[in-house]
Amino acid sequence: MSELIMVGRPLPPLPPVSTLPDWQQADPRWIGNALQKALALPGGAWFVVDASDRFGDTPRRYPVAGRQLVFWRGKAGLMAAPDECPHMGASLAAGCTRDGLIVCPWHGLALGDRPMGSWRTVPVHDDGVLVWVRLDDCGETPSERPYLPARPAAFIGGVIRMEAACDAQDVVANRLDPWHGVHFHPHSFKRLRVVEQREDEITVRVAYAAFGRYAVEVDARFHCPDPRCITMTIVRGDGQGSVVETHASPIGAGRSAVVEATLASSDRPGFRYALGLARWIRPMIEKRAARLWVEDIAYAEQRYALRAAGSSGGLTAADTAR
């Protein structure tokens, strides 16, 4: 392989936490413990649905945690409710909106804030990047607002949503295993070593492919702010402060949605010009994220399938130590 040429801001030297081969460093017990810590965090009964800018005037239907919900723009903002008309059960997502109400396509019933029988709206939160819905009967203690990770003040945002045949925890577990990066995504990651590892967060020094032999190296920290989210924050190097939020929302039995928001930022003076080009940069961000998630969904689905079959692999470094 030809030698890599690093471009971008130089990083202070930091020793790797281990010189063992990646497969020995990727200890399933550490990943499992970090995952359990994440799963024990409060979620506030909030679930990410999709990017804010995908909700326009047309009603949209999304499956969330075993329910079918319809979203529409009401007079006071985004609204969500069961996608089942209280009259005879029509899908309201096939209807239209009028004066902030959603109008049933079968017999014209117009619905809004006011409950109708057992039909009523559910709380929605639009954080400007993502739309969340709160399901108060999901078994979690509801919170006023979702537990949002820290975000940069100015950023170019891109959001992808993909569905996978796995549980939400398999999506989080994939991100708690950074060691697979170079091996499983060689087109994107050229070099990766762990430089800090705690019980519930891990920091890697990773060189990602820029163009040809050129790569940009940054320090990126993975951390879970709630049981269905893992963030990657660039803590040193070019793009410091940028965040990738990977959210995993259950949609039904053995199915989840991966909703990933990339919030790219920079303290370089030229970044303000890049902000003006956001609409052209955003599709590139989303294309790159989607490419990685095609592969990572295969990883998460394999993990789910193994668990469903009662197997987990689970060979640890200790097992192989001589």
Size of the site for ligand FES (CB under 6 A): 8
Is residue 88 a contact residue for ligand FES (CB under 6 A)? Answer: yes
Q: For the CB of residue 104, give the shortest distance to ligand FES in the complex, in Å.
A: 3
Direct distance between the N- and C-terminal alpha carbons of the chain, in angstroms, rounded to an integer: 31
Q: Which does 208 bind (CB under 5 to 8 A by kind): Fe ion, ligand FES, none?
A: none
Which of these ranges, 73-81, 144-152, 263-271, 291-299, lies near Fe ion under the rule CB under 5 A? 291-299
Q: Decide: is 260 part of the binding site for Fe ion (CB under 5 A).
A: no
User: What letter would DSSP give residue 116?
Assistant: B
**Does the footprint of ligand FES cover residue 198 (CB under 6 A)?**
no
Per CB under 5 A, 296 contacts Fe ion: yes
Contact 196, 203 (CB under 8 A): yes
Instruction: Give backbone dihedrals phi and psi of 91, rounded to 5 degrees, phi first.
Output: -75, 115
Give yes or no for residue 102 binding ligand FES (CB under 6 A).
Answer: no
- Among 216, 219, 191, residue whose Cα is nearest residue 14: 219
What six digits make up the tokens of 274? 């890049």
Least spacing, CB of residue 301 vs ligand FES, in Å: 37
Helix (H) / strand (E) containing 183: helix 181-184
- Tell me the closest approach of the beta carbon of residue 192 to Fe ion, in angstroms: 11
Map residues 258-297 to x or -, x wherever contact with ligand FES holds by CB under 6 A.
Answer: ----------------------------------------
Output b/e per residue, 117-131; b: 16+ Cβ within 10 A. eebebbbbbeeebbb
Residue 31 in contact with ligand FES, rule: CB under 6 A:
no
Q: Determine, following the binding rule CB under 6 A, whether residue 103 of this chain makes contact with ligand FES.
A: no
Burial class (CB in 10 A: 0-12, 13-18, 19+), 285: buried
| Pick from 45, 55, 49, 87: nearest CA to 68 | 49
**Is residue 90 near ligand FES by the rule CB under 6 A?**
yes
- Give the nearest residue (CB) to Fe ion: 296
Residue 296 site contact among ligand FES, Fe ion, none (CB < 5 to 8 Å, cut-off depends on kind): Fe ion
Interaction with ligand FES in 109-168: which residues (CB under 6 A)?
109
Least distance from C-beta 90 to ligand FES, angstroms? 4
DSSP letters, 36-53, are: HHHHTS--TTEEEEEEGG
Nearer to ligand FES, 108 or 276 (CB): 108
State both tokens at 5.
Answer: 């040429």
Residue 250's alpha-carbon distances to 15, 49, 79, 318, in angstroms, are 38, 10, 20, 34
Enumerate binding residues for ligand FES (CB under 6 A). Answer: 85, 87-88, 90, 104, 106-107, 109
